[in-house]
Homo-oligomer: A and B are copies of this chain.
Amino acid sequence: MSKKSICRFNLPELKDVPADIVKRITYVQEKSGFVPNVFLVLAKRPEEFRAFFAYHDALMEKESGLTKGEREMIVVTTSGINQCLYCVVAHGAIVRIREKRPHLSEQLATNYLKADITPRQKVMLDFAVKISSESYKLNNSDFEAMHSHGFSDEDIWDTGAISSFFALSNRMANLTSMLPNDEFYMMGRLQ
């Protein structure tokens, strides 16, 4: 592994990476055709790597009242506000693919109020943005807005937890100056 152009920190030699992490990296490489840089950067810290992806999967892969596409909308929107290049580009690719809409990523990353999404999804993003930017001000009216658009308490937890997890993720990407792989930029743009 070379740290060139993907990260500010020295990255580990592949031979020093634990087997379970190599296995996950190999798996994602076979599935995606390349290894997203976040796997290489976090491999530097195996314990953190395992916890990070376990947390990610618990929120992003499970059954939920939010579709997988909606969950990615939360990621791209809050990552845009946090100015996190890695997450905007990598999850921008995923939201384009999941929603089969090639223009959605830039709309969400730039200004979700202008995005071509439903009013219900805008309320979800209002909530996610408040968690991301000023969670200490959260109050009953925020929960009522979600309930009035049909979101359950479980959906609200999901919305807030995804926003919270990417508050962590965005900061790790900025800490490490993690850059997105070139492959992400074009994924999901041609249909």
Contact = CB atoms under 8 A, between A and B. Distances in A.
B185 A189 contact: yes
Interface in A75-114: 80, 82-85, 88-89, 92, 102-103, 106-107, 109-111, 113-114
Given A84-B111, A111-B136, A172 B168 contact: no
Nearest to A105: B106
Contacts of A186: 102, 189-190
Interface of A: 8-10, 44-45, 47-48, 50-52, 54-55, 57-59, 62, 80, 82-85, 88-89, 92, 102-103, 106-107, 109-111, 113-114, 131-132, 135-139, 143, 153, 156-157, 160-161, 163-165, 167-172, 174-177, 179, 182, 185-186, 189-190
